[in-house]
Amino acid sequence: MFDALAERLEDAWKKLRGQDKITENNIQDALTEVRRALLAADVNLQVVKNFIADVEKAALGAEVISGVNPGQQFIKIVYDELVKVMGESNVPLATTATAPTVILMAGLQGTGKTTATAKLALYLRKQKRSCLMVATDIYRPAAIDQLITLGQQIEVPVFELGSEANPVDIARQGVEKAKELGVDTVLIDTAGRLQIDESMMVELARIKEAVKPDDTLLVVDAMTGQEAANLTRTFHEQIGITGAILTKMDGDTRGGAALSVRQISGQPIKFIGVGEKVEALQPFYPDRMASRILNMGDILSLVEKAQEEIDIADVEKMQSKILEAKFDFNDFLKQMRLMKNMGSLGGLLKMIPGLNKLSSTDIEKGEKELKRTEAMINSMTVEERKNPDLLAKSPSRRRRIAKGSGHAESEVSKLVTNFTRMRSMMQQMGQGGMPAMPGMGGG
């Protein structure tokens, strides 16, 4: 995917070589590619149209910089514009001089509202801020229990009055309780419906009126794609939101909803949910989201990352391990992850002169191979990773790993053989000897 978009942009942009200005005429192909990429990332159609108009404005008149890959230059323009639209930097939660800060959670049912309430509470608790969660969803009986269970799990108190009480009263009394307890943030979970309906909006508006929240956060499921725009519009017009949380970003979605929410409401995404666990919450960063929406690690940041990730001490440790033949599967996994952290293999190879001509099939093959290897190592026990010889000796261990990782036994055997061979080769090189070339026969 990464390659496909980058290549298409580059093709579209190549036509600009030799021209020194970006004009309305010569930019159209490239804009079409951006449009496709955004739609594929689930950005709402209208939002895409507005965005493309912005990009065109930003690009027009820009000098085509000689010596710079024109595709990358254009990508940079698009990227910068995306970051700009999404608000440049992270916007934190509201804080108030007098406690408690009141945060109201709004959204449709199933978006992850209750989970997000607990995630936020845990996030705040880790920053040494005390919280109270308030359960006002009286319609879905399990909702109150769900919040109580989450509360116990993260050790944050929950205020509730059962399912007979009025949600507005529960919210109001919840805030009173927070004052009484002296906590500094109160998080109010509210009822959602499967679809927007009038009574839900009226009730939310009343709760809002009663507790005067400092932050009203719309919880949006990133998987809803195009719909995120309408949802945001309705909630913002009828309730008035001050921010949003985009959940389920751990899924396949590229997160185009982020752009829609921001452009329609003008309000910032403050957090993203990246999993079902209560810890799975991250502050939202426009630059990271822009990379994700364009489906390409920013080329510049890839270089920076590469510098960051390779810790000299780590490298030295690895070297001495190699010399002592202590290099094991854990080290191997670490190296593989290091590579992955730095972006896709394809992205990395492209930065290496001479290797940037590898076909995308070659790169894909390589990436697949890495994934398979990782799956097999993941199926090994701690002991086996530390001591690869265990595997060389035991067919039953290899069989178990094959089963666990969903690979053929022969593949596991091959991995172990290659690993052992590589290790002894490295060791010989370390000792200054000439390695016997494996697979060459003779010798």
What CA–CA distance (Å, rounded) separates 7 from 360? 11
Report the alpha-carbon distance of residue 377 to residue 388 in Å, rounded: 10
Of 248, 254, 350, 407, the one binding ligand GDP by CB under 6 A: 248
Q: Is 227 in the site for ligand GDP (CB under 6 A)?
A: no
Instruction: Please report the sign of the dihedral spanned by the C-alpha atoms of residue 79, residue 80, residue 85, residue 86.
Output: positive
* CA dist., res. 173 & res. 134, Å (int): 9
Give all strands (DSSP E) within 224-280, no chain letters: 243-247, 269-273
Q: Which one of the spans 152-160, 178-186, 271-279, 349-357 is the region binding ligand GDP (CB under 6 A)?
A: 271-279
The reply on whether position 111 binds ligand GDP by CB under 6 A is yes
Residue 246 lies near ligand GDP (rule: CB under 6 A)? no
Give the Cα separation of 376 and 387 in Å (integer).
15
Q: What single DSSP character describes residue 134?
A: E
From the list 44, 173, 247, 267, which residue makes contact with ligand GDP (rule: CB under 6 A)? 247
Taking the CB of residue 228, how many other CB atoms lie within 10 A of it?
28
Candidates 156-164, 175-183, 275-283, 372-380 — which segment interacts with ligand GDP by CB under 6 A? 275-283
Compare residues 195 and 431 and give the one whose CB is closer to ligand GDP.
Answer: 195
What three-state secondary structure class fits 410?
A: helix
Report the sign of the C-alpha dihedral through residues 113, 114, 117, 120, in that order: negative
Binder among 44, 72, 101, 114 for ligand GDP (CB under 6 A)? 114
CB count within 10 Å of CB 368 equals 11
Is 112 one of the binding residues for ligand GDP (CB under 6 A)? Answer: yes
Are 332 and 338 within 8 A, CB to CB? no
Shortest Å, Cβ 145 to ligand GDP? 11
**Which residue, 112 or 346, has its beta carbon nearer to ligand GDP?**
112
Residue 273 lies near ligand GDP (rule: CB under 6 A) = yes
Contact with ligand GDP (CB under 6 A): which of 3, 80, 250, 287?
A: 250
Binding residues for GTP: 107-114, 189-193, 247-250
Binding residues: 107-114, 189-193, 247-250
Residues that bind ligand GDP (CB under 6 A): 107, 109-115, 192, 247-248, 250, 273-276, 280
